[in-house]
């Protein structure tokens, strides 16, 4: 079933109502009768761009690149050319995925000591801006695997920026939130997103002519236009005006890095996920290493015992992250040792169904990331996370280019946050050139050499927790793609409560969790989302986007 949506007709509350209805539509809406290719992203326009590329002969990488460009225009609070990300690409002919790390790195002139005194003042917020990797990463993916011409993949984004796009629900909610007031101090962003002082609402049409011009330039000149050309100069000026260390030389020296995927064999599946500098793949792998499918099935999806014991496992992993994970170029990160069966068994013995262990608290909460998944009919699949970190990143843009700068370096860990873990300094401390540890968890699962599940998510430290829960909902409990996303999920907060559950959780479950020692809070978050493509036994695919962030999944 192809979904059609007349964007021109939609306005204001009407669009919001449609978006909600869309999210609530019953199971199966995302699967065409013989669907063999599809995409799911956090934005309808980005999903549509991916499908258009697939329909016109592009492969999954072409579609993912086009969708990432569109995401940067229509979901500018989450990702864009001023940010970075990770991608897993599995070609039908290969066993294991190719992994690309195009995460932001710290500028060479970074003042590492200053990172101990965070948060930075608003007028110095570009101190957290890392060297953007997004464009370099997308160009590398296209160069290695793309079939379509580069300019054709950039064009849909340029067109949306030029002719205007309709504000979707998540962007409207970000603009209406208090932190977005900071956008007003950047004249380019204020003009775009606030009319007469009021934030743009759902359904408003926004044109971004500066970004359109930048994208046209990128279409013609490639990544050079930013890393060695005028677009980069504008970003450096914007960052420096707010205390940033970003320099032209940093841009020129930036390279994406190929990494070896983190791999675990579990219950007949091969699960491939993101290695360091992400800590997301580690959490997923540790949870799988601790439990068998039968064990989890017996507990029952969403039961108190299930949520609590998974949360215990995740708290253990978050604690490992604080102690042992950093940029592998700067810290020794022995993932194999962290996944040793003997070590996991010992951890399991320390976990209990009637007690809650609290890892020392650490603060890592953000609001700007976009995860997308694509599969083409040749069997190639892509799982790509792209981010500018906080909502609208550093809330600064290039005066001419319209490109929004990231604040990714807030993902470095301050000394005070590792002291409770018995460390003097963090393996993830700020250092010139280092890439801060991420939670992003792009993941591909295969069985007997074929993809069975492609997923990933957004939502800061909630990402690996959400990805793990959705993966289990599919692989252990056999839920359909949409059902797996709709199932209740929990999060392990970094302060206050030990467990955050969806609002509306039944009293009996809350009582059960509290009996196990969990301090439970309820909170609905629209900053957290998982996208997935699930393959049926016959190769038929279902694609689905998280109703929490109102994205869209389509197949054909």
Q: Which of 250, 411, 417, 518 binds ligand DON (CB under 6 A)?
A: 411
CA R_g for the chain: 22
Query: Which one of 180-188, 195-203, 298-306, 367-375 is the stretch in contact with ligand DON (CB under 6 A)?
Result: 367-375
| CA proximity to 106, closest of 326, 325, 279 | 326
Contact status: 43 vs ligand DON (CB under 6 A): no
Stretches 45-53, 268-276, 336-344, 452-460: which one binds ligand DON (CB under 6 A)?
Answer: 452-460
Angle (CA) 481 482 484, round 5°: 65
Which residues have a Cβ under 8 Å from the Cβ of 342 and sit 6 or more positions away? none
Kindly tell me which residue out of 47, 366, 380, 426 binds ligand DON, with binding defined by CB under 6 A.
366
Buried b or exposed e, range 45-63, using 16+ CB within 10 angstroms: bbbbbbbbbbeeebbbbbb
Q: Strand 499-501 relative to strand 520-522: parallel, antiparallel, unpaired? A: parallel
Q: Which stretch binds ligand DON (CB under 6 A): 222-230, 304-312, 455-463, 499-507?
A: 455-463
Q: How many whole angstroms separate alpha carbon 452 and alpha carbon 181? A: 43
Q: Min. distance of Cβ 38 from ligand DON in angstroms?
A: 23
368 touching ligand DON, by CB under 6 A? yes
Q: Confirm whether 387 is a catalytic residue.
A: no
User: To the nearest whole angstrom, how small is the minimum distance from the Cβ of residue 441 to ligand DON?
Assistant: 9
**Of 265-273, 432-440, 474-482, 513-521, which part binds ligand DON (CB under 6 A)?**
432-440
- 92 DSSP assignment: T
CA dihedral 287, 291, 297, 298 (to 10 degrees): -130
Angle formed at CA 74 by CA 69 and CA 79, multiple of 5 degrees:
60
Of 466 and 555, CB closest to ligand DON = 466
The answer to the question of residue 369 lying near ligand DON (CB under 6 A) is yes
| Closest CB to ligand DON among residues 270, 407 | 407
Contact between 456 and ligand DON by CB under 6 A: the answer reads: no
- 439 binding ligand DON? (CB under 6 A): yes
Helical segments of 428-554, H only = 462-475, 481-486, 507-515
What's the min distance (Å) between Cβ of 391 and ligand DON? 7
Q: Are 472 and 309 in contact (CB under 8 A)?
A: no
Distance CA 227, CA 477 (A): 46
With CB under 6 A as the rule, give the number of residues binding ligand DON: 16
Least Å from the CB of residue 101 to ligand DON: 11
Residue from the set 459, 480, 493, 553 that interacts with ligand DON by CB under 6 A? 459
Judged by CB under 6 A, does residue 129 bind ligand DON? no
- Shorter beta-carbon distance to ligand DON: residue 85 or 146: 85
Q: For residue 42, what are the contacts with CB-CB under 8 A and spacing of at least 6?
A: 71, 75, 78, 170, 370, 371, 372, 458, 529, 531, 545, 546, 549, 550, 551
**CA separation for the pair 408, 278 (Å, rounded):** 13
Of the pair 214, 369, the CB lying nearest ligand DON is at 369
Which is nearer to ligand DON, 146 or 442 (by Cβ)? Answer: 442
Is 438 a residue that touches ligand DON (CB under 6 A)?
A: yes
Report, in Å, the least distance between residue 269 CB and ligand DON: 25
All residues at 6 or more sequence positions from 138 whose CB lies less than 8 Å from its CB, including other chains: 65, 68, 69, 102, 223
Distance CA 270, CA 549 (A): 29
Please, are residues 97 and 442 in contact by the beta-carbon 8 Å criterion?
no
Question: Cβ 120 to ligand DON, closest distance in Å?
Answer: 16
Distances (CA, A) of 361 to 278, 353, 364, 421, 496: 19, 21, 10, 9, 9
Please say which residue, 67 or 215, places its beta carbon nearer to ligand DON: 67
CA–CA distance, 187 with 120 (Å, rounded to integer) = 21
Buried/exposed 303-335: b ≥16 CB within 10 Å, e otherwise: ebebbbbbbbbbbbbbbbbbbbbbbbebbebeb
Active-site residue identified among 41, 47, 129, 369: 369
Q: Are strands 499-501 and 381-389 parallel, antiparallel or unpaired?
A: unpaired
Q: Which is nearer to ligand DON, 199 or 459 (CB)?
A: 459
Q: Does 408 bind ligand DON (CB under 6 A)?
A: yes
- Using the contact rule CB under 6 A, the part of the chain among 140-148, 458-466, 475-483, 530-538 near ligand DON is 458-466
- Should residue 367 be labelled a site residue for ligand DON when binding is judged by CB under 6 A? yes
Sign of CA dihedral 190, 191, 195, 200: negative
Task: State the minimum distance, in angstroms, from the CB of residue 145 to ligand DON.
Answer: 23
- Asked if residue 458 binds ligand DON (CB under 6 A), the reply is yes
Is the omega angle on the peptide bond into residue 277 within 30 degrees of 0, that is, cis? yes
- The residue from 460, 480, 493, 547 that contacts ligand DON (CB under 6 A) is 460
Give whichever of 107 and 368 is closer to ligand DON, judged by the CB atom.
Answer: 368
- Nearest approach, Cβ of residue 438 and ligand DON (Å): 3
Between 439 and 469, name the residue whose CB sits nearer to ligand DON. 439
**Consecutive H or E run containing 370:** strand 368-375
Among 440, 455, 479, 534, binds ligand DON (CB under 6 A): 440
Identify the residue among 389, 468, 531, 555 touching ligand DON (CB under 6 A): 389
The SS3 of residue 291 is coil
Beta strand segments in 427-506, E = 443-447, 450-458, 490-491, 499-501
Nearer to ligand DON, 383 or 389 (CB): 389
Give least dist CB 435 to ligand DON, A. 10
When asked if residue 275 is in the footprint of ligand DON (CB under 6 A), the reply is no
Residue 84 CB, nearest approach to ligand DON (Å): 9
Q: Does 527 bind ligand DON (CB under 6 A)?
A: yes
Q: Which residues bind ligand DON (CB under 6 A)?
A: 366-369, 387, 389, 408, 411, 438-440, 458-460, 463, 527
Catalytic residues: 369
């Amino acid at each position: 079933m192809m979904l059609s949506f007349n964007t021109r007709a939609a306005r204001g509350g009407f669009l919001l109502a449609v978006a909600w209805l869309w999210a609530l539509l019953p199971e199966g809406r995302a699967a065409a009768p013989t669907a063999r290719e599809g995409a799911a992203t956090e934005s309808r326009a980005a999903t549509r761009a991916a499908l258009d590329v697939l329909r016109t002969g592009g492969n999954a990488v072409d579609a993912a690149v086009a969708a990432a460009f569109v995401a940067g225009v229509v979901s500018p609070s989450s990702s864009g050319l001023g940010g970075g990300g990770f991608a897993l690409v599995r070609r039908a002919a290969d066993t294991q995925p190719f992994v690309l790390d195009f995460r932001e790195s710290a500028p060479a002139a970074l003042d590492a000591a200053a990172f101990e005194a965070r948060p930075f003042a608003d007028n110095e917020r570009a101190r957290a801006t890392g060297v953007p990797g997004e464009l370099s990463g997308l160009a590398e993916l296209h160069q290695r695997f793309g079939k379509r011409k580069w300019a054709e993949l950039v064009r849909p984004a340029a067109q949306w920026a030029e002719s205007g796009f309709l504000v979707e629900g998540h962007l409207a909610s970000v603009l209406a939130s208090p932190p977005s007031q900071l956008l007003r101090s950047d004249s380019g962003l204020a003009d775009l997103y606030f009319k007469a002082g009021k934030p743009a609402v759902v359904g408003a049409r926004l044109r971004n002519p500066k970004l359109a011009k930048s994208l046209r330039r990128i279409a013609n000149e490639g990544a050079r236009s930013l890393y060695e050309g005028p677009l980069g100069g504008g970003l450096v000026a914007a960052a420096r005006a707010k205390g940033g260390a970003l320099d032209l030389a940093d841009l020129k020296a930036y390279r994406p890095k190929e990494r070896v995927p983190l791999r675990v064999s579990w219950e007949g599946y091969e699960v491939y996920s993101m290695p360091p500098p992400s800590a997301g793949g580690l959490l997923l792998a540790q949870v799988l290493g601790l439990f068998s499918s039968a064990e989890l099935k017996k507990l029952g999806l969403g039961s108190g015992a299930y949520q609590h014991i998974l949360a215990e496992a995740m708290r253990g992993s978050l604690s490992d992250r604080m102690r042992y994970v950093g940029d592998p170029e700067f810290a020794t990160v022995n993932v194999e040792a962290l996944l040793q069966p003997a070590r996991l068994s010992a951890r399991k013995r320390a976990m209990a169904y009637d007690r809650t262990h609290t890892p020392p608290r650490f603060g890592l909460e953000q609001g700007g990331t976009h995860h997308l998944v694509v599969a083409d009919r040749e069997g190639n699949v892509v799982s790509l996370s792209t981010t500018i970190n906080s909502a609208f990143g550093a809330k600064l843009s290039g005066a001419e280019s319209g490109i929004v700068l990231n604040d990714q370096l807030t993902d470095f860990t301050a000394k005070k946050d590792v002291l409770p873990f018995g460390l003097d300094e963090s393996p993830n401390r700020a250092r010139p050139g280092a890439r801060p540890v991420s939670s992003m968890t792009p993941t591909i699962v295969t069985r007997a050499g074929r993809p069975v599940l492609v997923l990933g998510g957004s939502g800061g430290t909630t990402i690996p927790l959400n990805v793990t829960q959705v993966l289990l909902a599919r692989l252990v409990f056999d839920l359909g793609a949409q059902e797996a996303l709709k199932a209740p999920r929990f999060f392990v907060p970094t302060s206050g409560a030990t467990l955050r559950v969806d609002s509306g959780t039944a009293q009996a479950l809350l009582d059960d969790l509290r009996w196990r020692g969990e301090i439970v809070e309820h909170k609905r978050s629209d900053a957290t989302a998982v996208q997935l493509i699930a393959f049926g036994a016959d190769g038929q695919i279902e694609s689905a986007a998280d109703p929490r962030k109102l994205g869209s999944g389509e197949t054909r």
